[in-house]
Amino acid sequence: MRQCFIISQPRAGSTLLQRLLATHPQLQTIGEPWLAIPFVYALREKGVSSEYIHVSMAQGFGEFVSKLPGGRADYFREVRAMLERMQERISAPGKTHFLDKTPRYHLILDELVEIFPDAKFIVLWRNPLAVVASILNTWKDGRFDLRFYEQDIFRGPSNILAFVEKHPAANFELRYEQLVTDTEPWMRRVTDFLELPPLASVSLPANDSLTQARLGDKTGIHKFQSVSAAPTEEWRNAFNSPLRKFWARRYLEFLGRDRLARMGYGADDLIASVNAAVNSTEQFADDLVTLGWKLFRAFEQPPFYRTKMKTRDERRGLG
């Protein structure tokens, strides 16, 4: 099967794009399969927490792979053959393309090209502050707590930009804001890029199989029965306190004007939108409580304990 991927940060609108493409009769997709992640991390000594000792496993497995006649290339060739066989087994007759939408693939983009050198990648950008707002509203009930998502927020954009610059011919870029405001022409460009006939319609299906998927956007898939531009404006409501506005400005500074422009966004426009948001006393009070709890936890775990945990994590290959 021909391989195609949606590459984006989490909460960037990738489920909407997947739902639209899933209506194509030649395209097979399923939730977020994470198919390639374990085969790539089997060769990485860092980045995995496990009940076995992952660093030892990666070293031993890596030594085995190095003994193959073609080494790493042979291993990834076998991984590709196995994954394509499994994809074909779950696909209905007539399916020619398999679409994989796994947001954390931004961590293994170079290896994806090694496994699938002929794959096509649809890169979906979204206003990075809207991504943060969606993470807070969907996964944190509105609380300003970004633990566990730092790699997506801070590393995601740079990982994807580096990949796009390295493999320009394999990528098609669009912005979420374009997708929801000018859906039909942009979906036509996507299907042209995938070398597929145009979609019969850009309406979301009434009986959407992705609603039963274990992973994916469980909020939007039930909230929106048609393509809606409403989320392009709602993100501002997540930055209605001085603490959040300060964080947002620092985050935009971290991303940098050039990087934001390459993604399709103007730093000055985003900063102006943040500054114009009306402050909410309730949101500010909630932020103070959250900040106080974080400071308490930091005090509760003294420096020597954190150093001990860091050393342990490094020894286990998590540092």
pLDDT score recorded for residue 319: 46
Mean pLDDT rounded to a whole number for the chain: 89
Higher-pLDDT residue of 202 and 287 is: 202
Q: Count of domains in the chain?
A: 1
Q: Could you tell me if residue 277 is inside a domain?
A: no
Share of the chain above pLDDT 90, in %: 73
Tell me, yes or no, whether 279 lies in a domain: no
Which domain, by its residues, includes 115? 2-126+155-223
For 98-152, the pLDDT digits (tens) are 999 999 999 999 999 999 999 999 999 999 999 999 999 999 988 888 988 999 9
Asked if pLDDT for residue 222 goes beyond 90, the answer is no
Q: Has residue 273 been placed in a domain?
A: no
Look at 44 and 230; give whichever has higher pLDDT.
Answer: 44
Residue 80 lies in a domain: yes
Q: Taking the CB of residue 4, how many other CB atoms lie within 10 A of it?
A: 24
The confidence score (pLDDT) of residue 214 equals 74
pTM above 0.85, yes or no: yes
Q: Is residue 150 part of a domain?
A: no
Question: What pLDDT sits at residue 87?
Answer: 97
Predicted confidence band at 295 (pLDDT cuts at 50, 70, 90)?
low
Per residue in 86-102, pLDDT (tens digit) is 999 999 999 999 999 99
- Output the pLDDT for position 298: 56
User: What pLDDT, in 10s, does the model give residues 223-263?
Assistant: 666 688 888 889 999 999 999 999 999 999 999 999 999 99
Domain at 40, CATH number:
3.40.50.300
pLDDT at 80 over 70: yes
* Three-state DSSP string of the chain: CEEEEEECCCCCCHHHHHHHHCCCCCEEECCCCCCCHHHHHCCCCCCCCCCCCHHHHHHHHHHHHHCCCCCHHHHHHHHHHHHHHHHHHHCCCCCCEEEEECHHHHHCHHHHHHHCCCCEEEEEECCHHHHHHHHHHHHCCCCCCCCCCHHHHHHHHHHHHHHHHHCHHHEEEEEHHHHHHCHHHHHHHHHHHCCCCCCCCCCCCCCCHHHHCCCCCCCHHHHCCCCCCCHHHHHHHHCCCHHHHHHHHHHHHHHCHHHHHHHCCCHHHHHHHHHHCCCCHHHHHHHHHHHHHHHHHHHHCCHHHHHHHHHHHHHCCCC
Q: Residue 174 — very low, low, confident or very high, per pLDDT cuts 50/70/90?
A: very high
**What is the tens place of the pLDDT at every residue in 184-216?**
999 999 999 999 999 999 988 777 777 777 777
Q: Has residue 161 been placed in a domain?
A: yes
